[in-house]
Amino acid sequence: MAMLILAACLVLAAALSLGARFITPGELLQLLQGHGDPMVRAMVIELRIPRILMALAAGAALAGGGTVFQAMLRNPLADPFIIGVSGGAALGATAVILFLPPGVPVVAGAFAGSLGATFLVFSLSRRLSLGSETLILAGVAISFSLSSMVFLMYAFGRSSDVHRAVMWMMGDLSLGRYDMVLPGTLMVAVLIGALFFFHRHLDIISFGENFSRNLGIGGKSLGTIFWIAALLVALPVAMAGIIGFVGLMVPHITRSLWGGRHGRLIPLSACTGALFLLAADTAGRSIAVPYEIPVGVITGLAGGIFFVAMLFRRRQ
Amino acid sequence: MTETRQGDILFSLKGVSGGYGGKEVIQDLTLDIHRGDFAALIGPNGAGKSTLLKLMTGILIPSKGEVTFKDKAIQGYSPREFARQAAVVEQSMRTLPSYTVGEFVELGLFPHRQLFSFAESPEASRVAEALEECRIAHLVHRSIDQISGGELQLASIARALVQNRDVLLLDEPVSHLDIHHSIAVMDLLHDLNARGATVITVLHDMNRASDYCGRLIGLKEGTLFFDGTPEETVSYGRIEELFELVCIVRDNPITGAPFTYPVPGYVAQGKKKGTP
């Protein structure tokens, strides 16, 4: 726990300092006291802080949602995107970028697409009986169809728009502005809080499908938990694009460090996810200045290396 | 050990069929379970014993017929409502390593708790009582992952007792247990039944069923093959037909219940396969 707090301080300091222009600790202290260069001040307040908030909220949401879906699907390799959130968001965002007038916000398209696809997966699996395997299979099938539709749209779009759509898909936290980030962060906090109330349900669900049913957890409770978690994951996807591996990797790490009880796992996963995504984004925008590496590329790379390392560890 | 006591009807199945993916494992079954019964569901693999249990607990919805519990259709109970009135011990489950035996047994209080209440239940003493009863109080702080299969089965029964001690349904509670734990579990179920619990259990071991249970319900290919006391149902002809083997039936000198001795080397209407 002390390590987590120390890591939080280090990552926050790095996120404030690093970037296209390095801001020294001295300058940061001056800003805190209300002095300092107005350009530095604008850079920190208008760009870096909303971006930091966005990274923290998105990381917490993805990792918190991932923890819940891994418990619900009883599959430690289940990614929260398996329920169609990312495929739907990609379709919605691509449609807005390629075919709708510039005034229509991409966030709205992505959010609607993401919830629409989730609804489709949920209804399909419920119709076929809401088993965890059915849900995973329905999710995989629908995600494949949605990505084919996205590729079909590319064929008809202008190349500059297609490039924008592809960049969106890699995840971009630089779009963070207070008017979107503040309500988004608040909603993430409320949804994580709501999931925390179901922590004992999630423990029982982890024991098995029949076990949880025999302890009185029925489709209604499962549906409620599912939709809270789906909303939680849809928010960062709509705001920042598809950032892979956070929802898969972070719950894994927290579970191995702090055990499988969701009363601890949900808040700790959310904190770890928030810090991990902030660290990844900070690295992405300070490794190759003046270029920015999309955050999804960094999390994907880290995730891939992490899984290979885990396979080696397991073999040993 | 095989006295029968029959009270009012607890579970009633009328012309029930049901199964998985369109295949009817249970076919047109009519059966009543009375309060106070200690009933064993027996029969060969695939006869529909576990499916019958799932139909009775509402996990499976019958394709035909009706299942009632306390005179109300089983589908009319919410899972929580049913969980408060009957407890089920599953055949197998995953375990969560960070749970201790005590915490696992305490999960039996879950259906009785309010969702948004952090208050300790006044019935928390039921946990200690159930641990004592199942003789696993010494394991209370051990991780659920670090106990033997037999101890886990006792912990599952303790959890079920915390949940509800009047109606217990168990799916093969002794199948994977050594003889010590197998007898411990059956003795415990017998004591609970003697104190008023209705116990319905799937059993593979004919002789455990005959020694302990007042009522044997034999299933074959999804239909009722026999239903009665061990004395009424266990004869060599019926057991041979039910399990397709050759056997001798004698009285158990200790319990007096019919005891089945399968003849080694003979299966399926007496065809000799090996040496007896």
Statement: residue B269 has pLDDT above 80: no
H or E element, residue B11: strand B9-20
Q: How far is B101 from chain A (nearest CA, A)?
A: 14
- Placement of tokens 């978690």 in the chain: A229
* Residue type (1 letter), A298: I
What pLDDT does B222 receive? Answer: 93
Q: Tell me the pLDDT of chain B averaged across its residues.
A: 88
* pLDDT tens profile B210-242: 999 999 999 999 999 999 999 999 998 999 999
In tens, the pLDDT along A123-174 reads 887 776 656 777 888 888 888 899 899 999 999 888 888 998 888 888 888 8
pLDDT in tens, A278-297: 999 999 888 887 788 888 88
Q: Which residue in A67, A214, A208 sits closest to B94, CA to CA?
A: A208
Hey, are the CB atoms on A210 and B111 less than 8 Å from each other? no
Query: How is chain B split into domains, by residue range?
Result: 1-86+166-182+191-233, 95-163
Distance from CA of B198 to the nearest CA of A (A): 17
Q: Are B82 and B73 in contact (CB under 8 A)?
A: no
| Per-residue confidence (pLDDT) for residue B2, from 0 to 100 | 45
Domain spanning B1-86+166-182+191-233, CATH class: alpha beta
Q: Which residue of B has its CA nearest to A207?
A: B94
Residue carrying structure tokens 């260069």 = A37
Contacts of B101 in chain A (CB under 8 A): none
Q: pLDDT tier at B275 (50, 70, 90 boundaries)?
A: very low
Interface probe with A: pick from B81, B90, B114, most Cβ of A within 10 Å: B90
Q: How confident is the model at residue B117 (pLDDT cuts 50, 70, 90)?
A: low
Residue A260 to chain B, least CA–CA distance (Å)? 6
Residues of chain A contacting B, Cβ within 8 Å: 74, 197, 200, 203-204, 206-208, 210-211, 213-218, 220, 259-261
State the nearest Cα–Cα gap between B152 and chain A, in angstroms.
13
Phi, psi of B140 (to 5 degrees): -50, -35
Cis peptide upstream of residue A290 (ω within 30 degrees of 0): yes
Task: Enter the DSSP assignment of B120.
Answer: P
d(C-alpha B5, C-alpha A268), whole Å: 54
pLDDT at B1 over 80: no
The pLDDT score that the predictor gives to residue B4 is 46
Least confident of A71-80, A93-102, B241-250: A71-80
DSSP sequence for B164-209: -SSEEEEESTTTT--HHHHHHHHHHHHHHHHTT-EEEEE-S-HHHH
A259/B57 CB distance under 8 A: no
Q: Which CATH class is domain A44-315?
A: mainly alpha
Mean pLDDT value across residues A19-37: 81
Give how far B263 is from chain A: nearest CA, Å: 37
Question: What is the rounded distance in angstroms from the CA atom of residue A61 to the CA atom of residue B34?
Answer: 51
| Nearby residues of A152 by Cβ (< 8 Å), 6 or more positions away | none
Mutate to test the interface with B, among A134, A201, A214, A220 (most CBs of B within 10 A): A214
Comparing C-alpha atoms, which of A244, A233, A255, A243 is closest to residue A310? Answer: A255
CA neighbours closer than 13 Å in the CB half-sphere of residue B50: 13
Task: Please indicate whether, in this complex, the C-beta atoms of B111 and A216 are within 8 angstroms of each other.
Answer: yes
Q: Do B79 and A216 touch (CB under 8 A)?
A: yes
Give the span between the Cα atoms of B104 and A132, in whole angstroms. Answer: 23
pLDDT in tens, A239-251: 888 888 899 889 9
CA–CA separation, A256 and A268 (whole Å)? 12
Which residues in A lie closer than 8 A to residue B163 (C-beta atoms)? 215
From chain B, the residues in CB contact with A200 under 8 A are 110
CB contact at 8 A, A243 and A296: yes
Instruction: Give the residue among A18, A20, A26, A68 at the shortest CA–CA distance from A229.
Output: A68
Cβ–Cβ gap B110/A204 under 8 Å = yes
Give residues with Cβ within 8 angstroms of A315, minimum separation 6.
none
Q: Do A197 and B116 touch (CB under 8 A)?
A: yes
Long-range contacts of A146-152 (CB under 8 A, 24+ apart): A146/A84, A146/A87, A146/A88, A146/A90, A146/A91, A146/A117, A147/A87, A147/A90, A149/A91, A150/A87, A150/A90, A150/A91, A150/A94
A47 within 8 A of A175, measured Cβ to Cβ? no
Average pLDDT over residues B16-20: 92
A30-79 residue pLDDT tens: 888 878 788 888 888 888 899 999 999 999 999 999 999 998 888 877 88
DSSP letter for A48, please: I
Q: How far apart are CA B170 and CA A149, in angstroms?
A: 49
- By three-state DSSP, how is residue A77 classified? coil
pTM for the predicted model, two decimal places: 0.87
Q: Which residues of chain B from 199 to 258 reach within 8 Å of chain A, CB to CB? A: none
CB pairs under 8 A between A and B: 63
